[in-house]
Homo-oligomer: A and B are copies of this chain.
Amino acid sequence: MNVEYVNPFLSSLVNVLGTMANTKIVPGQPRLKKDEQARGEVSGLIGMIGPTTKGSFSVTFEESLALEIMSRMLGEKPDSINEEVTDMVGEITNMVTGGAKRILGEKGHEFSMATPVVVSGKGHTITHKTTGAKILMPFDSDFGKVFIEVSFDE
């Protein structure tokens, strides 16, 4: 797993949350994910297929941040994660992966995106079943944390 594959997802998430939700997030230190735990209450997942590899991307929000983004994007703030919030997380997953796809395409790494699946639940786990390393990238904000995970088959 090359950092060249991860940075486009990082910059795309910063861009999507900044432009769509006026929310500034600060990237932390990327690391290998060794356990299965998701780092929040709601996650968007998407599969990716390229000519030479395939993999998956996920973005996990702490509930407080997901609800704040909901409020900023749609002008309403639900009390907890509902279907409108999972719709929003699915859209963000699509937008972030689409942005990363454009950046990677310009570098000659083409891939196609499947449709997103959104998972929620306190204490849920997420495991990318790929042969490559699982990269976990944390971000902090004034309203809570968000994490992305990217992994491709080697």
Contact = CB atoms under 8 A, between A and B. Distances in A.
Interface of A: 36, 43-49, 54-56, 58, 83, 86-87, 90-91, 93-94, 112-130, 151-153
B119 A126 contact: yes
Contacts of A123: 121-122
Nearest to A112: B49
A125 B122 CA distance: 10
B45 A115 contact: no
Task: Please give the count of copies of this chain that the complex contains.
Answer: 2
A25 B56 CA distance: 30
A124 B120 contact: yes
Given A115-B129, A124-B124, 18 more contacts: A36-B86, A45-B117, A45-B119, A47-B49, A47-B114, A47-B117, A56-B114, A114-B114, A116-B129, A117-B117, A117-B128, A117-B129, A118-B125, A118-B127, A121-B121, A121-B123, A121-B124, A122-B123
A128 B122 CA distance: 19
B56 A153 contact: no
A117 B124 contact: no
A124 B125 CA distance: 9
Contacts of A91: 129
Contacts of A83: 36, 127
